Structure 1
């Protein structure tokens, strides 16, 4: 082996870089030397060479220098100052140069350098509209946090220095929009197209949403577009974080935490701030942070401000119409959302007039036969769940809509009896949904609706028995939990007797099953309760004070207790037979009472679901 080959071998072994990396380093070194000339001659000579001699070589070298070299603040300032002198010469044949100038990082530089970039950017956009289509998306892309910058965006909000950098970007965009009205559509498209993918890190999506909402502050004309865009993206997150997955993930982690807690002494067990714990489901965590951000945005638009002036009221009314339009367009038609609709719930809590306007909008859709059945059914679900769950809805408003719903049901029954309409679920989906809504609201709000004699008289005036016993038999398609809870309330207060109908429906179902070898599923409403309990941990505090949990009335509780106790054990010798009289609908025969109560016990066990609509203590 020659000395030369030995030296070469040893050299290759001792080198820290591979041959490919060594070649790359060599090219970088060559480029650095190569760019000394463009730096020295500058942009003025490069543009002059093109205009006077049609020589693009200096220009190409200068563009490469801009793209690959990190300039100092002084060099950056000189380049931007020289570029500004050439605004009129930078025609479309200099597109590569302009794109390179716009793309140079600038937000982290000193104030003078940022000012120089800003002035050049404005001048080039105004002087040559062609560059707007590239320049504005480049500006919008600065809204997107880097994947590795989570520490700079705690809970989706920027730290102070990042906020300062973003402020410069937004001020520049504001100036562009003011100077070039035609750029609004370009901004619109860029903001939507640049929105991060739903599986990006939480701080990336929430950070971008932060800037999207910021846009409204200096350009209110974008309000409707921003609200609908935010709703669409939140709906996308919401449907990709199903309630079942959130509950399953959190339950598994809670069990692990409980096992770990058993091994820790109490003195070493530090208190945890549960409100700030992230959701275990990654998309649910992203949704949680984004919802919190939009709630805070709604707080800034609160109509409950004590110093609301006459000039502000039209703006607040306009903003409410924008929110309602976004709800009608995006949220209402969406299937299986769990949390995004609470934005409307929260905004309605600010003022009773807004809650009433929301209910009136839903009711108009339900009554309108020209609206599709799917939307009408969804509106029924929203109005029922809102009346049931919203603490801030006054009792007179609750009674008003119960009266309206029942009157509509009675008119529908009379009209269909007259024309002998088909009684199938599909043909009468809105009617069946509305009946279940009535049953649900009465059962859920029974404590409020039975607190006074006046309220009981109101319930009697609804003629619930006529709805329950009509030929459509709405109880047969209701969710078992709703039907059972409603039956308990009506029995406790002698408003209607539903248990016999429930038993008959159950027997028909069994007859259908056993008449054939295969079990045929009973028709049941595909029900949606949009304001079911809120599962997101961080943003939940915004909803908790306005949200109503289910509480059965005292008479209903007594009725349930009586139904679950065997009369053979609860009666003693000498007791009056009236002790067994739960209500006037039950016959006096003791044997018949025993049979009915036993059936009631079996039925309640059969229909005792731990799922929505939330009839549990």
Structure 2
């Protein structure tokens, strides 16, 4: 009989096997094995180790490794002809996506990092993706994304220079009054416009430092992006302020940037003068006189208020053409005033906040360059040149530099005649109006001009048959400049006076108190009594004032010449028909006579822009009459009208056809 062996010891129940937990439960407990089981009614308190970095992961965020692989596959499949994943990649940066919440900032950052790693693929073949990246709304995001995006941008333009212009254009467009990336993004805090501008400037500065060719590309783009002259004051002010900030960290572009601003300012300046002349012609001087009062409250906001409304928007009555033209002119005046005030402030920082003579000389050099290349050749610039007028008077050396430049151009026979004539007007106007221009400069300029006039007189008089502006324009331009300087600075042409000389003695007419520097009286006499007859051709207003002052001071008497000139008509035939001269009528003769007089334009005439005029206070010499002289002005003008000649005596000129 077989027996069954039993195990030794007591019989015990078998140990039960542990239950296998579901994988999902395992994953939830991985981070904290010792955590108590969850209660269906109460959430357990969780404590965190302060030494461990904790980040809340949104359920729809993609892991960086997954995004990197997705980007790699998109480029690989596109190379094989399948663009489905590539199109999805483009959609990541599309600004037309309706559901912003579908893509978190963290995921977008992962895509941007992944593209940076595959920057070699962002070439011309994938230009559409690059353009979407450039056009994406990146400026309104958090700082960590800005850093990643700028790194991608730098890698793209470094590896593929073909996109450098597009990148710079995008950046410059965000320095305007309405930056494309100014929209507030969903789930993001608002970003102020100054912050946007600051981010753009930092990016441009980084690219300029990284890529040598970026400066040349940027310079061209700035020209194209500059607001049109018809754009609002606000558009101009914001863009110019950003340009000046750019010039601060890009010294290699400083001259070009300031030159661009000056060039556009001159266009506005000239347009205002043209519009004023047209308005005066059609409507009358009374309306022109009211132009400055159209907007008396010209206030330029220092900081952008964020308002979408334009400060220059006025209520317009389209039916009233004259009123509308007046408003348009007022807008341009306001715009010009604001821009000049900004430029005055910009240059003032150089002169006031730094003591470096090198910096001062550099600023004057830039202003002189703008004067020679832009302002001087432009007829009718009215206010822009006062930048140089003010800052040239900051030191005797700068005064000498500006005067020397004008003298050199005025007497340079290789320069165009119009430029030389304009330079003479600037020279005379600066010397006459600049309150800090010293007496020795006045005397030197007076001597330069009289010496040249004497040379021209000797050359022209032997063949002269009378006054002729066309043939002897150089002589008349310099003569008018000399008369203008004398009217303002005659005191500087006197020799030293006795200590007991009283200013009140100036009242006497032909007294012997006035002792003139050597050659002054002789030079004036030689010029005004010349056969070239400059008193007939020069501006009547300047000639009249010179005659009064010269007579009062006893230096030269010219009233008999003025009386004679009333009977002298400057004849110029307009043309001929079928070989016969056109018949001259009284109206055509009067019109022709006006054309034969020099323009009385002097570039530093009184400055009336309401905001920026404060900069030239203390630099500008206002007209001050001679005591006792102005009292007789009214009676003299009445006498002149009564003595008008009844007949004209023609004095032949070189342009007559009478042979």
Range into which the TM-score falls when normalised by the shorter chain:
0.7 to 0.9
Correspondence for 2:70: 45
Correspondence for 2:364: 320
TM-score (normalised: structure 1): 0.74
Partner residue of 1:81 out of 98, 113, 132: 113
Determine the C-alpha separation between the residues in 2 that align with 1:105 and 1:347.
43
Tell me whether 1:287 sits opposite 2:348 in the alignment: no
Change beyond 3 A, Cα 1:105–1:512: closer
Change beyond 3 A, Cα 1:414–1:315: same
Correspondence for 1:467: 527
Change beyond 3 A, Cα 1:382–1:344: same
Q: Quote how far apart the aligned CAs of 1:50 are.
A: 3.4
Correspondence for 1:57: 84
Change beyond 3 A, Cα 1:141–1:531: same
Deviations 1:406-443 (CA, angstroms, capped at 9, x unpaired): 12112221233356698521121121011011111211
Determine the C-alpha separation between the residues in 2 that align with 1:256 and 1:98.
49
Correspondence for 1:299: 348
Q: Quote how far apart the aligned CAs of 1:89 are.
A: 2.6
Change beyond 3 A, Cα 1:126–1:487: same
Partner residue of 2:424 out of 380, 393, 400: 380
Determine the C-alpha separation between the residues in 2 that align with 1:216 and 1:435.
42
Tell me whether 1:494 sits opposite 2:494 in the alignment: no
| SS across alignment from 2:612 | coil
Q: Quote how far apart the aligned CAs of 1:137 are.
A: 1.1
Change beyond 3 A, Cα 1:124–1:255: closer
Q: Check conservation: 1:331, 1:341, Cα contact below 8 A.
A: yes
Determine the C-alpha separation between the residues in 1 that align with 2:358 and 2:205.
24
Q: Check conservation: 2:120, 2:159, Cα contact below 8 A.
A: yes
Correspondence for 1:135: 167
Q: Quote how far apart the aligned CAs of 1:472 are.
A: 0.2
Superposition map of 1:286-435 within 5 A = 286-302=335-351, 308=355, 312-418=356-462, 424-435=468-479
Determine the C-alpha separation between the residues in 1 that align with 2:292 and 2:337.
18
Deviations 1:180-214 (CA, angstroms, capped at 9, x unpaired): 11222211111111111111111111111112122
Q: CA RMSD in A?
A: 3.6
Q: Check conservation: 1:43, 1:59, Cα contact below 8 A.
A: no
Determine the C-alpha separation between the residues in 1 that align with 2:199 and 2:487.
55
Deviations 1:333-379 (CA, angstroms, capped at 9, x unpaired): 00111111111112112222112211110011111111111000000
Q: Check conservation: 2:140, 2:196, Cα contact below 8 A.
A: yes
Change beyond 3 A, Cα 1:563–1:240: closer
Correspondence for 2:647: none
Superposition map of 1:86-165 within 5 A = 86-146=118-178, 161-165=192-196
Q: Quote how far apart the aligned CAs of 1:123 are.
A: 1.5
Correspondence for 1:537: 610
Q: Check conservation: 1:492, 1:555, Cα contact below 8 A.
A: no
Gaps of 5+ in 2: 1-59, 183-190, 302-310, 313-326, 499-513, 574-582, 645-659
Larger CA deviation: 141-150 vs 204-213? 141-150
Change beyond 3 A, Cα 1:143–1:249: farther
Determine the C-alpha separation between the residues in 1 that align with 2:298 and 2:193.
28
Tell me whether 1:598 sits opposite 2:630 in the alignment: no
Correspondence for 2:599: 526
Deviations 1:222-280 (CA, angstroms, capped at 9, x unpaired): 122112211111111111212556987674477789xxxxxxxxxxxxxx977769995
Deviations 1:278-325 (CA, angstroms, capped at 9, x unpaired): 9951122111111111111111221x66x62xxx43343233222211
Determine the C-alpha separation between the residues in 2 that align with 1:551 and 1:275.
31
Q: Check conservation: 1:492, 1:559, Cα contact below 8 A.
A: no
Q: Quote how far apart the aligned CAs of 1:541 are.
A: 1.0
| SS across alignment from 2:435 | coil
Larger CA deviation: 366-375 vs 275-284? 275-284
Correspondence for 2:508: none
Determine the C-alpha separation between the residues in 2 that align with 1:515 and 1:49.
85
Gaps of 5+ in 1: 1-34, 151-159, 258-271, 565-596, 604-617
Larger Rg: 2
Correspondence for 1:576: none
Partner residue of 1:547 out of 611, 617, 620: 620
Correspondence for 1:240: 271
Q: Check conservation: 2:424, 2:477, Cα contact below 8 A.
A: yes
Q: Check conservation: 2:467, 2:536, Cα contact below 8 A.
A: no
Deviations 1:521-572 (CA, angstroms, capped at 9, x unpaired): 22101342111222321111112331121111125335536746xxxxxxxx
Determine the C-alpha separation between the residues in 2 that align with 1:40 and 1:202.
50
Larger CA deviation: 480-489 vs 42-51? 42-51
Q: Check conservation: 1:170, 1:215, Cα contact below 8 A.
A: yes
TM-score (normalised: structure 2): 0.70
Change beyond 3 A, Cα 1:219–1:468: same
Partner residue of 1:221 out of 252, 264, 276: 252
Change beyond 3 A, Cα 1:531–1:275: farther
Q: Quote how far apart the aligned CAs of 1:60 are.
A: 2.2
Q: Check conservation: 1:446, 1:552, Cα contact below 8 A.
A: no
Partner residue of 1:457 out of 493, 496, 516: 516
| SS across alignment from 1:301 | helix
Q: Check conservation: 1:446, 1:489, Cα contact below 8 A.
A: no
Larger CA deviation: 515-524 vs 201-210? 515-524
Q: Quote how far apart the aligned CAs of 1:497 are.
A: 1.3
| SS across alignment from 2:229 | coil
| SS across alignment from 2:357 | helix
Higher share in helix: 1
Q: Check conservation: 1:338, 1:530, Cα contact below 8 A.
A: yes
Partner residue of 1:445 out of 489, 494, 500: 489
Determine the C-alpha separation between the residues in 2 that align with 1:215 and 1:463.
52
Determine the C-alpha separation between the residues in 1 that align with 2:372 and 2:458.
31
